């Protein structure tokens, strides 16, 4: 469970988030939407402790993140699988090695890691491309490699920032279905996107941010 | 290139210290001379000289004394110079009695000069000769050269660090994308840093190996003339090249510098990255 409690984040006199209260239940799948600059990216950055709130606190499974010391931040981040809009794949290594990265970090043995990597690639339908360099894959395939990397270490939470931003509607739909499949096996999924027609086809909660607040939330 | 820069920075001060190591054995004893020669006045007879010797032995600053009688001294002088025949023709012995005084340790410069002054003030003493001045000079010259070498070494090592830091910064910057991704998906600073530490180690240790090789070649190259010089000075010594320990120390120094530099360079880079 992820709880934002009166979270604000100011940059100078600009408020990216204002007194945000938000709860995402364990095992839930939710879409986070809103205009550019509505605070989606800030919210995700705060959740991943890439940034700290100006006030308020974020609790993950009841544990306040403000209590997490910087030394423990990497371990905290490993509880999340992160999918980026631009995939952020490393083109100096194979698909397999890209996906294996979180496992190498977590200290898995090479054989154990290889087994998990193949399982993850199989789930996203890219097992035949295991030894390929991701640079030669299509945009949709690259995004699926990114998803495989996000889920390979079996994280509690799957966070995606505009994962379908560069994809055509059909590929986007496939990617969303993939997230849904992971949600069905118990992963809490939060997808930031502004593709409203796409997410309206899925029956999940839509969280809309407007100028750093939940849309419809009372202005204090 | 980096290897060469590190190697030169390590080899130059290394060569200087190696030179000093080779000079040291030529100075037989860097402690103050063990003896002070006391020339007694020509008018003193043997009993008076012996009385003086007995007095000196009671001094705390004197460890031991030896009396050299004037006839003994003449015999030795004649023998060493081959002038015995000439000397026997002298109607009287021109040499005075002398005392060889061993000061007690520690034989510092001040203690020695105090002793010389005190002995010189005794009646019947003509001259006190300390054969230490040239040694002090050489000692100071060596010390100055050593400091100069260390200062130069420090400057060169700083140069090596800068060369390493620049290379490592480029190496880190080339993998900026990877660092960013790994940071977000939970890589610890240690995990991100590890490959760069190895890079630093590789460049540093490689530079150390090259520096050792340079010194070895250098010592081989100058061995001929230097050994000839040793022989001319009547020294049994031979030039000592960089030993295994010396080369290992250079490699360790290079590796240490590389490791440390990459640690600092990566820490600076990560801090700047986090601030963005």
As for the ipTM of the complex, it is 0.84
Number of domains in chain A: 1
Instruction: Specify which of A76-90, B27-41, B110-124 reaches the highest per-range mean pLDDT.
Output: A76-90
CATH number for the domain including A83?
A: 3.40.50.300
Closest in A88, A90, A105 to B186, CB measured: A105
Of all residues in chain B, the percent with pLDDT exceeding 70 is 92
B47 reaches A (C-beta below 8 A):
no
How many A/B residue pairs have CB atoms within 8 Å? 42
Instruction: Please calculate the CA angle B243-B248-B253 and round it to the nearest 5 degrees.
Output: 130
- Residue range B47-57: average pLDDT? 85
pLDDT at B133: 67
Contact A149 B187 (CB under 8 A): no
- In a domain? residue A6: no
pLDDT at B29: 47
pLDDT at B101: 84
Closest in B180, B185, B188 to A102, CB measured: B185
- In a domain? residue A62: no
pLDDT beyond 80 at B237: no
Q: Given pLDDT bands bounded at 50, 70 and 90, which one contains residue B78?
A: confident
- In a domain? residue A20: no
| Cα of B172 to nearest chain A Cα, Å | 15
Look up tokens 């130059």; give the residue: B12
Mean pLDDT of chain B: 83
Closest in A74, A80, A82 to B188, CB measured: A74
Chain B (186-225) residues lying within 8 Å, Cβ to Cβ, of chain A: 186-189, 191
Q: Which residues of A164-173 are buried (b: 16+ CB within 10 A; e: fewer)?
A: bbebeeebbb
Instruction: Kindly report, residue by residue over A175-185, the tens digit of the pLDDT.
Output: 899 999 999 99
pLDDT beyond 60 at A220: no
- Residue range B32-51: average pLDDT? 79
Contact A90 B181 (CB under 8 A): yes
- In a domain? residue A175: yes
- In a domain? residue A146: yes
From chain B, pick out residues whose CB is under 8 angstroms from the CB of A134.
none
Q: Given pLDDT bands bounded at 50, 70 and 90, which one contains residue A146?
A: very high
Closest in A75, A77, A92 to B184, CB measured: A77
Please give the residue range of the domain that contains residue A44: 27-55+74-214
Q: Given pLDDT bands bounded at 50, 70 and 90, which one contains residue B23?
A: confident
Of B182, B183, B184, which to mutate for an interface test with A (greatest number of A Cβ within 10 Å)? B184
A50 reaches B (C-beta below 8 A):
yes
| Cα of A153 to nearest chain B Cα, Å | 10
Instruction: Kindly report, residue by residue over A60-113, the tens digit of the pLDDT.
Output: 999 999 999 988 999 999 999 999 888 889 999 999 999 999 999 888 999 999
- In a domain? residue A67: no
- Closest residue in B to A75 (Cα–Cα): B186
Domains and CATH numbers, chain B: 2-29+135-275 (no CATH), 36-131 (3.30.70.3040)
- Closest residue in A to B184 (Cα–Cα): A77
A204 reaches B (C-beta below 8 A):
no
- In a domain? residue A66: no
pLDDT at B17: 81
| Cα of A105 to nearest chain B Cα, Å | 6
| Cα of B259 to nearest chain A Cα, Å | 21
From chain A, pick out residues whose CB is under 8 angstroms from the CB of B178.
90, 92
Q: Given pLDDT bands bounded at 50, 70 and 90, which one contains residue A187?
A: very high
């Amino acid at each position: 469970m992820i709880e934002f409690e009166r979270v604000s984040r100011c940059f100078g006199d600009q408020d990216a988030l204002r007194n945000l209260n938000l709860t995402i239940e364990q095992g839930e799948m939710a879409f986070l939407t809103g205009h550019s600059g509505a605070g989606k990216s800030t919210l995700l950055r705060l959740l991943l402790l890439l940034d700290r709130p100006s006030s308020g606190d974020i609790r993950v499974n009841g544990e306040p993140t403000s209590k997490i010391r910087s030394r423990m931040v990497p371990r905290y981040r490993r509880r999340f699988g992160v999918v980026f809009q631009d995939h952020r794949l490393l083109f100096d290594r194979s698909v397999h090695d890209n996906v294996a990265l979180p496992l190498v970090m977590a200290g898995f043995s090479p054989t154990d890691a290889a087994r998990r990597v193949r399982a993850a690639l199989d789930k996203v339908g890219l097992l035949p491309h295991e030894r390929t360099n991701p640079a030669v894959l299509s945009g949709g395939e690259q995004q699926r490699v990114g998803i495989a990397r996000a889920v390979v270490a079996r994280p509690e939470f799957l966070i995606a920032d505009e994962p379908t931003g560069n994809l055509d509607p059909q590929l986007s739909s496939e990617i969303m279905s993939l997230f849904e499949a992971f949600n069905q096996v118990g992963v809490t999924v939060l997808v930031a996107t502004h593709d409203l027609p796409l997410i309206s086809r899925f029956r999940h909660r839509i969280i809309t941010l407007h100028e750093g607040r939940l849309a419809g939330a009372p202005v204090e | 290139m980096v290897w060469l820069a590190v190697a030169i920075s390590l080899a130059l001060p290394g060569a200087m210290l190696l030179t000093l190591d080779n000079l040291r054995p030529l100075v037989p004893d860097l402690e103050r001379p063990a003896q002070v020669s006391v020339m007694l006045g020509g008018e003193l007879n043997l009993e008076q000289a012996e009385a003086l010797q007995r007095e000196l032995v009671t001094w705390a600053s004197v460890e031991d004394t030896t009396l050299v009688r004037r006839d003994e001294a003449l015999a030795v002088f004649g023998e060493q110079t081959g002038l015995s025949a000439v000397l026997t023709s002298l109607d009287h012995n021109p040499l005075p009695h002398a005392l060889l005084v061993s000061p007690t340790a520690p034989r510092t410069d001040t203690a020695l000069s105090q002793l010389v002054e005190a002995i010189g003030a005794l009646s019947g003493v003509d001259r006190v000769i300390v054969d230490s001045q040239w040694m002090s000079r050489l000692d100071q010259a060596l010390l100055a050269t050593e400091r100069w070498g260390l200062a130069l070494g420090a400057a060169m090592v700083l140069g090596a660090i800068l060369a390493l830091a620049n290379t490592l910064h480029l190496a880190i910057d080339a993998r900026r994308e990877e660092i960013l991704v790994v940071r977000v998906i939970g890589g610890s600073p240690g995990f991100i840093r590890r490959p760069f530490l190895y890079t630093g180690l590789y460049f540093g240790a490689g530079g150390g190996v090259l520096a050792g090789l340079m010194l070895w070649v250098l010592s081989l190259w100058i061995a001929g003339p230097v050994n000839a010089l040793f022989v001319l000075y009547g020294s049994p010594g031979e030039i000592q090249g960089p030993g295994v320990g010396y080369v290992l120390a250079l490699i360790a120094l290079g590796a240490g510098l590389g490791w440390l530099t990459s640690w600092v360079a990566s820490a600076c880079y990560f801090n700047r990255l986090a601030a963005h």
